[in-house]
Amino acid sequence: MIVGETVQQFRVPLVGCDGFLLALEDLMAAGGQGRHVGLTVLKLGAGFCATSLRSAAERFSRSHPLLHARVRRGWLFGVPEWRAEGPFLGSGVLIEEHPPAVSVESVCERVLALPTTETLRIDVVSIEGSTYLVVKWLHMLFDGRGIELALHEIARLAEHPAEPVTVQRSWGAAFTLPRNFWERLRGVRTFLARYHQLEATVFASLGGAVPRPGEARFRILHFNTEQSRSIRERAEFLTGGIFLLPYFFAAVARAHAAVFELRGQVPMNYHAGAPVQGRRRGAKHPIFQNQISQFYFSLWHEEVSSLEIATRSIHAQFSAMARSKVDSSFLIMLNWLLRMPERLYMNFLRADTNGHLTSFFHSHTGQFMPETLTFCGAALADGWHIPTVSTPPGSGIFFSERNRRLTGTVSWRDGVLSEAEVDAMCLRLTRDLLGEG
Amino acid sequence: MARPVSHQKILQDLLSLVQEHLFESQSGMDAETDLFEAGMESMGIMQLIMQIEERFGIVVSDGDVTRQNFRSVAALAAMVERLSTSGE
């Protein structure tokens, strides 16, 4: 793992899903939507030490060259790489402390609106006696699980103030691909078969097919312990066992259906992916890069009319894809697509989806930082992610859970949803999850 | 057809399967550890089902995929034994 402090130059290739994120960044830049960033919010108890955070963040920055790297492509069809030249100083993580604020949402909005000049930024603010950290990160460099691992590493460094800085190779791929071309060619057939199945689903996104400017917007839905327990039990009941993914995916599709109904755009079919995380539970590495594959689901309009039917349909698709290992097969395709220049990559995807890419973005990242109990001297009381989305598709709904409390984040781009449409989406989502109405 | 194996062997096989394929850095894990508390999710459950079917030569039907059967390695072992016996 340890390379040594003398390393001054390095190159590391992008991994499968990074290629999609790179193409998405290009689409967002062309559409005037800025960088593709995410926020992660930590709510801390008493005892937080800002000095300890600054020290740990500085050592984290000096240990990880990827925080100082830029994406470069050697030749037109070469695999893009992260490249950096040392010395790697503490500037990779920016920390800003603020006077007490009224709400964490207002801080998040302010941070989102700032130009993104650094890879990782942490804003510290006190609200009603609690300390909140608002962490802003680049999706090119972290996925949801990756940023949790990065924060866990900062928490660990804070507990070991005397630990010396060592440049770490904490990158790498969580997946392995078949060794030779012919094995890969055989392996990719599973994904292609699934892909052709999905071609029949004609769908649209709420944001429309054309990239257009718009600030990132969000609304957070916090569910208390009792509500979260009830949601879990309902999910288990509806999936006939213990799979939560189909239930949440179906609820997200129906929340989008509420807006299409309001707009009179019915009947509408749905097509979207759900990430498959490559890191094993408890893994320390790799912190960086998008270590995910995808499963792709479709729902016909008649299936979306009922949460039960939609859940059953997604459950059947999930079981079939998992058993045929579509996620592994898709990685082969992602790996090949890495060589495609960003604009061509995105045009290829958009051409196949009438420009919409997907109906919506969605993920459930599971337990939020389960391995982290304290952060810089304070108990980690709660936490959630606020991923931002591109237009198209213009909207997404994301979930995570901490201390048996579920949090949902509805994300969209300014101009994609009206306030009334966000209300309708949140109402349908909450009612479906809680089994009301 | 699956050959009968001892309870202890099934338990040991399942424990190493869960440790190797689903979790990392979980040194305190034993047969009674609650797998859901440890963070097992939809994809992990599905991977576990496929691994169990391959390792023990049995078919885990939808009806067998319950929280009760998947809550711990000990519960999984009981399910595997039952399915192995009924498949003979």
Do the bridges between strand A81-85 and strand A70-72 make them parallel or antiparallel, or are there none, so unpaired? Answer: antiparallel
Structure ipTM? 0.82
What pLDDT, on a 0 to 100 scale, did the predictor assign at position A173? 72
Report how far residue B9's alpha carbon sits from residue B81's, in angstroms, rounded to the nearest whole number.
11
Averaged pLDDT for residues B40-65: 88
Asked whether the beta carbons of residue A282 and residue B25 sit closer than 8 angstroms, the reply is: yes
- Spell out the per-residue pLDDT of chain A, length 437, in tens: 444 445 578 889 999 999 999 999 999 999 999 999 999 999 999 999 999 999 999 999 999 999 999 999 988 889 999 999 888 887 889 999 999 999 999 999 999 999 998 899 999 999 998 999 999 999 999 999 999 999 999 999 999 999 989 888 666 677 888 989 999 999 999 999 999 888 888 999 999 999 999 999 999 999 999 999 999 888 888 876 678 899 999 999 999 999 999 999 999 999 999 999 988 877 778 999 999 999 999 999 999 999 999 999 999 999 999 999 999 999 999 999 999 999 999 999 999 899 999 999 999 998 899 889 999 999 999 999 999 999 999 999 999 999 999 999 999 999 999 999 999 999 999 999 999 86
- At the fourth CATH level, the homologous superfamily of domain A1-437 is Nonribosomal peptide synthetase, condensation domain (3.30.559.30)
Number of cross-chain residue pairs from A and B with Cβ atoms under 8 Å apart: 61
Q: List all residues of chain A from 160 to 179 with a beta carbon under 8 Å from chain B.
A: none
What pLDDT, on a 0 to 100 scale, did the predictor assign at position B47? 85
Contacts of A275 in chain B (CB under 8 A): none
What pLDDT, on a 0 to 100 scale, did the predictor assign at position A3? 46
Residue B1 pLDDT greater than 70, yes or no:
no
Residue B67 has its nearest CB partner, among A236, A284, A370, at: A236
Nearest C-alpha neighbor of A94 from the set A137, A131, A63: A137
Contact A291, A143 (CB under 8 A): yes
Contacts of A241 in chain B (CB under 8 A): 62, 65-67
Residue B74 falls within a domain, yes or no? yes
Residue B88 pLDDT greater than 90, yes or no:
no
Residue B67 sits in which domain range?
7-19+33-86
Residue B55 falls within a domain, yes or no? yes
Contact A257, A424 (CB under 8 A): no
CA A273, A277, A280 angle in degrees (round to 5)? 160
Residue B58 falls within a domain, yes or no? yes
Averaged pLDDT for residues B61-78: 91
Q: Residue B23 has what DSSP assignment?
A: B
Residue type, A368: F
Residue B47 falls within a domain, yes or no? yes
Q: How many domains does chain B have?
A: 1
What pLDDT, on a 0 to 100 scale, did the predictor assign at position A244? 87
Asked whether the beta carbons of residue A277 and residue B26 sit closer than 8 angstroms, the reply is: no
What's the CATH number where B47 sits?
Answer: 1.10.1200.10
Residue B28 falls within a domain, yes or no? no
Contact A243, B49 (CB under 8 A): no
Asked whether the beta carbons of residue B38 and residue A284 sit closer than 8 angstroms, the reply is: no
Using CA coordinates, name the residue in chain A closest to B67: A242
Mean pLDDT for chain B?
85
The whole-angstrom distance between A282's CA and the closest CA on chain B is 5
Q: List all residues of chain A from 341 to 370 with a beta carbon under 8 Å from chain B.
A: 366-367, 370
Residue B24 has its nearest CB partner, among A243, A277, A282, at: A282
Cβ of residue B59 closer than 8 Å to a chain A Cβ: no
Q: Which residues are CB-contacts of B27 (< 8 A; sequence separation ≥ 6)?
A: none
Q: Mutate which of B17, B18, B34, B43 to disrupt the A interface (most A C-beta within 10 Å)?
A: B43
Residue B1 falls within a domain, yes or no? no
The backbone torsions φ and ψ at residue A42, rounded to the nearest 5 degrees and listed phi first, read: -115, 130
What pLDDT, on a 0 to 100 scale, did the predictor assign at position A241? 63
